[in-house]
Amino acid sequence: MLRLKGGRLYDPEHGVDGLVRDLYVEDGRIVAAPGPEARIDSEIDLSGRVVMAGAIDLHTHIGGGKMNIARALLPEDHRADPVPAAGGMHAGCGHAAPSTWTTGYRYAEMGYTACFEPAMLPTNARHAHLEMGDIPMVDKGAYAMLGSDDFFLRLLASGSDQRLINDYVGWTLDASQAMAIKVVNPGGISAFKFNARNLDLDEAHPHYGVTPRQVIRALARAVHELGVAHPLHVHASNLGIPGNADTTLATMAAAEGLPIHLTHIQFHSYGTEGERGFSSEAERIADAINRMRNVSADVGQILFGQTVTASGDNMSQHRNRRHASPDKWVVMDIECDAGCGVVPFKYKDRNFVNALQWAIGLELFLRVSDPWRIFLTTDHPNGAPFTSYPHLIRLLMDRGFRNAKLDEINAEAAAHSQLRSLEREYSLYEIAVMTRAAPARSLGLSDRGHLGAGAAADIVVYRDDADREAMFEKPEYVFKDGQLVVRDGRVVKAVNGALHAVKPEYDKGIEKPLKDYFDRYMTVKMEHIRVSDDEICACGASKLIPHACKGRAA
């Protein structure tokens, strides 16, 4: 048994806010304080240290095809950032689109122990699992993308019973070994292929006649009725378009009270005021989130520098292609299942739009009062590479630092933003909520994201440093399932993470129409789509962690 002695614990799941307590770890789990007769094999003195559960990133593009396209598109990203092999770690490379191994090491070195890929196409699931299996150190999971696939749109257009839609969603989760359902530009990816370049929430799809609102309603209901823990994960319509805040608010309402998660909401909080017709609507969006208890969001903060945007939203990526820097881009269809767009991007602090985007993201963080419903993301790599999280945490925790940065950005954008007047500074407890407890709860990971007895021993120990960036950049210790894997911000032991997937109940009768559909229209058979439980470990994950779902009555 290992004793972690005298650390200051931040464990929001149990309301623990900076209490000094000992932690006991045995067989990869946190256990209750044993009696005096228990044998302590080793002990680490953590007095003065900050202790939290392993961090969880619930929206980070780390696998599933588009990152490979980004890697192929950006050889310069790899050349400029080589990482040599060292001490049991593989060599790697890449800043915005790092190689799989480097991704895992860098996440662990920041104290992350679980990452969730939010855009896995069911037809691409096998590749996504292979790629995620390749990522060491952290647990993984993926959200299956639905809402622009023809089978679903046909079901919806023909007015099918919700139960049939539920079965299809259940089958998709099961067959693709997914953790949740994501919808990207609802129906819009399909509409793009019918030459639509825009699709508003209540605009009919040019071929199927259904609206994005119907797509959201049907999927949110399916996810809810199947009993999947994580709400429908929505990348709303009109990404990046000035004035899209109205669409975002309407999207929240489209869930009709059912749980809904709006992702990278920074890209969806834009207004049209001012001389340049681009303004912040962060206040309105944040107010709506504060008001609507069924809504959660992650921010998708942008940070300045070179990155690459990779999204299933081919419509938006096609629109953004003219901003590509360096000037090259990819927009493609993937197996008629959805789409994909990869556009390299350089966010500049002197650029009015980029600077305002930066301020809007921070405003959202600071204006949403409940840290349980807003999550820390940069939508890696779309807003910035995930390695910028420590910097982002400092921006949230340190008003002086934030205002100093505000002085450096485009002056006009800074003047337009109300960021300077926001006095809030996140506390360590709130950071522990938004990066640990809240994502674990949102995903239904009952034994992660907290430090209670029975939890997996994913534990991170930080030196308490007034410079929060330095503090969160280099944890002193990171334990993964009880094993010491990182010491002083460097990986000391390479391990493989597990894969989380939900196992909903559904009627297997859906396979009959699906099989006919695949036989008639698709390039592969339905049976080829299914990724079996055995394959998950063959793909590289240490094990599959299934999560049962308790279906809810319609």
Q: Write down the least CB distance from residue 491 to another protein, Å.
A: 17
Residues that bind another protein (CB under 8 A): 72, 74-76, 78-79, 84-85, 91, 328
Comparing CB distances to another protein, the nearer of 78 and 405 is: 78
Comparing CB distances to another protein, the nearer of 91 and 453 is: 91
Comparing CB distances to another protein, the nearer of 77 and 281 is: 77
Comparing CB distances to another protein, the nearer of 73 and 153 is: 73
Q: How far is CA 41 from CA 44, 126, 453, 484, in A?
A: 11, 42, 19, 14
Q: Do the bridges between strand 55-57 and strand 82-83 make them parallel or antiparallel, or are there none, so unpaired?
A: unpaired
User: Does residue 23 contact residue 454 with C-beta atoms inside 8 Å?
Assistant: no
Comparing CB distances to another protein, the nearer of 78 and 547 is: 78
User: Does residue 338 contact residue 312 with C-beta atoms inside 8 Å?
Assistant: yes
User: Does residue 88 contact residue 484 with C-beta atoms inside 8 Å?
Assistant: no
Comparing CB distances to another protein, the nearer of 54 and 381 is: 381
Q: Write down the least CB distance from residue 264 to another protein, Å.
A: 28
Q: Write down the least CB distance from residue 308 to another protein, Å.
A: 14
Comparing CB distances to another protein, the nearer of 99 and 269 is: 99
Comparing CB distances to another protein, the nearer of 85 and 554 is: 85
List the one residue out of 497, 501, 418, 432 whose CA is nearest residue 104. Answer: 497
List the one residue out of 57, 75, 68 whose CA is nearest residue 130. Answer: 68
Say which amino acid occupies 524. Answer: V
Q: How far is CA 379 from CA 60, 132, 299, 309, 434, in A?
A: 5, 17, 8, 9, 15
Coil, strand or helix at 368 = coil
3-state secondary structure 39-56: CCCEEEECCCEEEEECEE
Q: Write down the least CB distance from residue 493 to another protein, Å.
A: 20
Q: Do the bridges between strand 16-26 and strand 29-31 make them parallel or antiparallel, or are there none, so unpaired?
A: antiparallel
Comparing CB distances to another protein, the nearer of 79 and 515 is: 79
- Give every CB contact of residue 179 below 8 A, 6+ residues apart in sequence: 116, 141, 142, 143, 230, 443, 500, 501, 502, 547
Beta strands (DSSP E) in 335-458 are 338-347, 374-375
Alpha helices in 122-161 (DSSP H): 125-134, 150-157
Cβ neighbours around 522 below 10 Å, total: 18
Q: Write down the least CB distance from residue 78 to another protein, Å.
A: 8
Which residues are registered as beta bridge partners of 501?
A: 546
Comparing CB distances to another protein, the nearer of 328 and 424 is: 328
Residue with tokens 């599959």: 544
